[in-house]
Chain A
Amino acid sequence: MRFRVLSLIAALAAVPASGATPALNRQFQQTVRPFVTKYCIGCHSGSTPAAQFDLKSYTTLSMVTHDFSRWMLVMDKLTAREMPPKPVLPPPAQESRRVIDWIQALRTEQVEASAGDPGQVLARRLSNAEYNYTIRDLTGQDMELTREFPVDPANPAGFDNSGESLTMSPALLNKYLQAAREVADHMVLMPEGIDFAPYPMRADSDREKYSIQRIIDFYHRQPTDFADYFQAAWRFRYRAALGKPHATLAAVATESKVSPKYLPLVWQILHDPNAVGPVLKLQKMWQELPTSRADQPNILRAKCVEMRNFVEKIRAHTAMQFAAPKVRGLPPASQPLLHWKNQMFALHRRDSDPNDLRNDTDPPPVVPAIPNYARLHQEAAPRWAAISAKARAGDTDLIVPAAQRARYQAAFARFAFVFPDAFYVTERGRFFPDDSEDKGRLLSAGYHSVMGFFRDDTPLMQLILDEKDQKEIDRLWNEFDFIADFTARTWEQYFFNESGEVQGKGAESGTPRPTDHALTDEAVIVQLRDAYIAKAKSDPDNDPVAPEAIRVHFDGINATLRALEKERSEAEPKHLEALLRFAARAYRRPLTSSEREDLLSYYHALRTKNQLSHEDAMRTSIVSILMSPDFLYRTDVSGGAITSSAPHRRRVTVQTAAYRSQPLSSYELASRLSYFLWSSMPDDELLKHAAAGDLQRPDVLLAQARRMLKDPRVRGFATEFGGNWLDFRHFETNNTVDRQRFPSFNDQLREAMFQEPIRFIQDLVNNDRSVLELVYGNYTFVNPVLAQHYGMPPVQGDANTWGRVDDARRYGRGGLLPMAVFLTQNSPGLRTSPVKRGHWVVQKVLGEIVPPPPPVVPELPSDESKTDLPVRELLARHRDNPVCSACHSHFDSFGLAFEGYGPVGGARTKDLAGRPVDVSVSYPGGAQGLGIEGLRNFIREYRQKEFVDNLCHKLVAYALDRSLQLSDDSLIKRMETRLLAKDYHFNSLVETIVTSPQFLNRRIPDVDERTVSLARKGE
């Protein structure tokens, strides 16, 4: 027995019955209604009609056409001879035949009447999911703002992306407003435009954290491990033996992921002809590296690490050290003096201190006593000098022949010139009172209490970075100040908390607020500078460099502040341009000139009328953009107002018997495509094609679709289409599992279960696999938690580590059917539910329409450990009742195939009461099967067509953002034909859909002449 299931044609309300021929009408009154009265309305009428289907209520033909999908079901049930059910006597075959033929004829007529109708796609707001993905792609930050939004209702096809179901309310509008503000809070003004941070930029500390992290990340990306360079040099040395005789040093560097700029310097010193001292010793180590034939990469690496350790030791022992210039009456930690000291360190990282070398004629060095930590505001250098001297004392590599001192000193200098004591410094403390407490002060200048940052990366700039990277790190530091305003804020803090020192008021004292100046005015800075210089010059014992150090410090602050001022004012127009670009991307189309003007005048009104700062006006403008219907709604209406210079295809209005349609504009099409395949906004490439006006060309359209199908953003499709089709979209918040009884079920496992089908579908789409893999696939995807749940070999890594498992059937998995998410979701807590599991298979996977249960159904016990009989036998009893059996016989058997899986989807051989489970199944029609494998075989043999058919229907409904109608029939047939021809590969489905008239056009529903004329005007 086969089912005819053409069930998903749900909404025919829009199809008028005007075309129905009088003959069909006559037959309805003379043949169909009497048949129904005789055989059907005994059950299907009254106050509680069976299956909630009142057949008595259809008194006119138009009532039938308006609810045609249910009459298709009548046809199916009559054809399958399932209705009327036993014990009612079946009607004579001839009578049934006439009704079946009549429904068929009506259907044919309806299809013709609606041919070419793209269907009505209502203006619709973004669904919550689309909103999230769109904000993510618009800002580059995944903010998940809709977590507190009301849940979107689904349309009859089960999707939440259609205008029929997506409504708006004041409560939701408030949520939108709140979310828009949150997005605006993430905005960061940059010198060249705007950006969005991963978290809101509220407090100063947020701005610092954001800017600092970008710099630290850049530093950590750089290849600065000497061992890597020695290893790369080794590869160059043995390039011929390694099969690359013509490789250049630069090519080897690139291949080894080290700097092509720096590797030659390293190579050079490894072959320095005048080698003595550390250079010679390093060369010896170099010569002793294993040859290319030695197939021992670990030994090579270990030797290179030894070389690195040697270099680092030498450099640590010969690094230059500095103290702050001495000025009587100023503490060494005084900012201008400390800043000078920091600069000295930064500028001499490629120098070797000759005083650290010892002649072989010298007596052994005296190990100095280590002084206590410097007190607050005191110089820490002596302590560090002593610690270094102690570390150096036993280092024989620093002993040089007295007679050749100059030669050795030069070698040390060359060595230091290639090997800096540090490439960059990311943390700086104050070495007080306990330097173990100085950790984590990223990019800090090491000031006391007052904030301050210091850039110390000269060797990295000089030795490692190419021009592009040099520019990038310069830019990051500049943006740090632009975003976090740290120079100005350090100045203010210093002014109020430390600058009193110059007047002898003590190290932690400030200067009174200047009355007639802003604190950051040049005059204020100069006045303080001169006071410090005067102080530095007032005592002949002061370090003579002090006045210069002070001048450099204050002038540097002034120059930075002035440059930032200039940069800020120059950036404002750029920000406005960025705002307009943001609006265009948010609206997914170019702005009209009046929209541009309008947005700019709004910004200016905020500045002048509302007295907002530039930044606040920018934020408020962003809120306003995100509240616009052009962002929140997908209207498929350009309003005929786009005046892009790009050529637009002429819109041709197609008029069939009942409908007129019109091609979507390029931008509308771009959005339709991206919301279909990504649940998100079009990317730049798609918009570029929209602008060029060539997106409607089938070759371009298909190329774009194929590109998009390979994109990771297909995750959005896998989640939204897959999640709603298979009904697991809200599993992330599922709370029906008794966690006391199933302690392994925790939030991590729940999330992993939720992710599994998404990963599976995404992989299938990204790689254009056969859609049959969804059912028959012998693989799945697991993370460590899920692998454990499934009893698979352990997966190493965190919850985000997902791997493909082949031959998954060994573990009872493979494809969608035995995924834990479905098995768990369709179990009512403490027992399995073959009813729910089976119902899920036939309804969701195979697309069969199962009538709703009657109002009074006997409940099965809630805990299978407390029942006398296994669940399968309880169900068998239930089916003894023919009224129940009419439906349950359709799906119970499918569910019984899963009895080998417990209530949270784990494999089992016994139920919760300890009884062995029986997975033998007798399917409708009599076929037999064992467990999940039997189910797969049954589907392959008897139900594959239904599965494919259902998938096509669901996909079309999802793609078109509406319920299906009869005019979609031919599209679905084309999809199925092509799918077969393409060996079931998924892409062919998408390709057929996106090139269909339904997808490319929109209906002009009520012949609104104004709309047409406006659209024409816009061309």
Chain B
Amino acid sequence: MSGSTKNSAPRISRRTVLRGAGCTVALPWLESLQALADTPAPSAFPKRFGVMFLGCGINEDYWSAEGQGAAMKLSKTLEPLEPLKEKINVIDGLYVKALTNQGIHPGQTGSLLSGAHISKGAIIHSGISVDQMIASHVGNDTPQASIVLACDLPMTGYHETNFSMAYSSHISWQTPDSPVPVELYPSLAWDNLFDNRGSLLDISILDRVQERVQDLTRKVSSSDKTKLDEYLTSVRDVEKRVEGMRKGKAQAEDAAKAKNTIAATMERPANGLPADLRDHARLMCDIIALAFQTNKTNVASLIISRDLSAMYYPFLDVKEGHHAASHNNNSDGYERISRFHVSQFAYLASKLDNMKEGDGTVLDHTCLMFLSNMWIGRKHDNFRLPLVLAGGLGGTLETGRTLNYLNASEDNRKMCSLYLSLMDRFGLKLEQFGDSATRLENL
């Protein structure tokens, strides 16, 4: 299934992903069933993690934030976040060392979420990204471990630095050797999440097995029958759990509907790719919001525009494509492009914030992260990355702050330290991740 990862056994490389020509399907999440079917609904609300990506940096003249809470002052590009000021953290000065000084673009992007060293040439090799680390840790709680979406067509050729363009086209990596294929089509992303395809297929497979075992049982001796009964019992047992899971999900959806009408009204997006990026991005955000709210998944990533994007923004009155525009990144045009992306982030965050959950909102139990692979596009400068977090992650992450690490020591400017801190909050405590063995100070 493009664009999503299913729950799976501990070894991430086992994660099964099907890719079809033109059509994609989610494979099931059976191994998680036990956990879900046997445990009562958790009293605490699940924590979620979402990443949104903009390629080629921002307009640095209009990207800044000062002060705390309601008094926070946001610059022009960050203005869409104005209503959410108390629920965000604007973080400055972090970077990924492994992605510096080795060539521009793909070499600046290939391990943004893992801090790994990436390989040039024919064989691609990066690291498992933080979202996929979290997905494999908490993924068993939901039908899908994660959803991985993009509005921008991935590329697989070579950049002149001899890094594969796959590094520019993906931020989520399920194994060091394979990025998670992105889902471009809103309709297919919707089907995977809400059509319960995986469980339907499982039930169809298990039904067939049952029929065949019963058929065989009629033909064998009574002692063989005992052995086959053992099999049949196991099959029935698993199938019952799949069905229980489906029922459980239906109930969860009903509950979600009762709570919030916005989510409930989302219809299946039309087939095909939306012609207008604004529609495309909005649909993808709606899907993520709905998936979080209905506990379909707790992890999502979305590339609005990838690195070296050739996307056009006629609606922003910019003539050049994305990458070309970024070479003149302190232009008004590129500021509008940057602000457009931030407004998508604000849209998703607000949407989650409008979804009541317990005493708070879904956003309060979430951490959304907005980032780019560069600071200044015209210089391909990535010693500092634009970064905004939104959501309190179930009360574990203080918000309404501006945090500046620009003048901090080298050791305390690492994106990987931030990832360690975030993974901690998901109960995934690692000693080391990427180039860091320490948590980000003051987060």
Contact = CB atoms under 8 A, between A and B. Distances in A.
Interface string B190-225: 010000010011101110110011011001111110
B155 A441 contact: no
B154 to A, nearest CB: 8
Contacts of B226: 122
Nearest to B181: A203
A509 B324 contact: yes
Nearest to B182: A203
Interface stretch (A102-110, A206-214, A346-354, A728-736): A206-214
Contacts of B159: 448-449
Interface stretch (A221-229, A310-318, A456-464, A627-635): A627-635
Given A508-B324, A637-B216, A168 B231 contact: yes
A124 interface: yes
A430 interface: yes
A468 interface: no
Contacts of A500: 310, 321
Tell which of A172, A184, A602, A612 has the most Cβ of chain B within 10 Å. A612
Tell which of B14, B33, B123, B227 has the most Cβ of chain A within 10 Å. B227
Interface string A113-135: 00000001011110000000000
A178 interface: yes
Given A209-B123, A437-B162, A620-B205, A496 B157 contact: no
Contacts of A172: 234
A372 to B, nearest CB: 15
A444 B164 CA distance: 12
A167 B231 CA distance: 8
A208 B156 contact: yes
B277 to A, nearest CB: 10
Contact of B23 (A209, A613, A623): A613
Contacts of B235: 173
Given A508-B323, A613-B20, A178 B122 contact: no
Contact of A205 (B166, B205, B234): B166
A280 B13 CA distance: 60
B245 to A, nearest CB: 13
B208 A611 contact: no
A999 B22 CA distance: 51
B310 A496 contact: yes
Contact of B158 (A173, A441, A1004, A1006): A441
A639 B230 contact: no
Contact of B16 (A168, A200, A492): A200
Interface string B15-34: 01111111111011011011
B238 A173 contact: yes
A629 B202 contact: no
A487 to B, nearest CB: 13
A513 interface: yes
B16 A177 contact: no
Given A168-B231, A200-B17, A451-B155, A513 B273 contact: yes
A547 to B, nearest CB: 26
In which size bucket is the chain A interface?
35 or more
Contact of B321 (A205, A493, A510, A615): A510
B231 A509 contact: no
B205 A624 contact: yes
A373 to B, nearest CB: 10
A206 B164 CA distance: 13
A205 B228 contact: no
A367 interface: no
A78 interface: no
B121 interface: yes
Contacts, number: 266
B166 A629 contact: no
Given A122-B227, A125-B231, A204-B181, A451 B156 contact: yes
A1014 B221 CA distance: 12
A122 B221 CA distance: 9
B8 A178 contact: yes
Interface in A130-182: 148, 163, 167-174, 177-178, 181-182
A438 B321 CA distance: 26
Contact of A628 (B23, B200, B208, B321): B208
Contact of B204 (A184, A610, A641): A610
A184 B310 CA distance: 35
Contacts of B162: 429, 437-441
B16 A185 contact: yes
Contacts of B154: 204
Interface string A536-571: 000000000000000000000000000000001000
Tell which of A123, A627, A1011 has the most Cβ of chain B within 10 Å. A123
Contacts of B158: 429, 441, 444, 449, 451
Contacts of B16: 178, 181-182, 184-185, 200, 202
Contact of B18 (A125, A185, A444): A185
B27 A635 contact: no
B178 interface: yes
B197 A509 contact: no
B165 interface: yes
Contacts of A441: 121-122, 158, 162
Nearest to B201: A620
Interface string B319-336: 111011000000000000
B181 A623 contact: no
Tell which of B153, B181, B226 has the most Cβ of chain A within 10 Å. B153
Contacts of A568: 21
B354 interface: no
B324 A506 contact: yes
B234 A432 contact: no
B219 A506 contact: no
A493 B155 contact: yes
Contacts of B21: 485, 568, 613-615
A619 interface: yes
Tell which of B206, B220, B323 has the most Cβ of chain A within 10 Å. B220
Given A169-B234, A611-B23, A178 B9 contact: yes
A124 B227 contact: yes
Contacts of A602: 204, 208
B278 interface: no
A693 B82 CA distance: 81
A449 B227 contact: no
Contact of A510 (B221, B223, B310): B310
A637 B17 contact: no
Nearest to B159: A449
B20 A432 contact: no
A526 to B, nearest CB: 21
A613 B25 contact: yes
Contacts of B197: 610
A205 B124 contact: yes
Contacts of B221: 1004-1006, 1008, 1011
Nearest to A488: B21
Contact of B14 (A182, A496, A641): A182
Contacts of B213: 629
A506 B24 CA distance: 34
A439 B10 CA distance: 36
Given A441-B122, A485-B21, A202 B181 contact: yes
Interface in B272-322: 273, 275, 308, 310, 312, 319-321
Interface string A851-872: 0000000000000000000000
A502 B166 CA distance: 26
25 contacts: A122-B227, A123-B220, A148-B11, A172-B234, A177-B28, A177-B238, A185-B18, A203-B179, A203-B181, A204-B156, A209-B122, A447-B157, A448-B157, A451-B157, A493-B153, A493-B155, A493-B157, A496-B310, A508-B310, A610-B25, A612-B20, A616-B18, A620-B201, A620-B205, A633-B227
Q: Which 6 A-B residue pairings sit nearest by Cβ, starting from the closest?
A: A440-B121, A613-B20, A451-B157, A613-B23, A639-B219, A123-B224
Given A148-B10, A451-B158, A509-B310, 4 more contacts: A177-B31, A204-B181, A448-B160, A628-B209
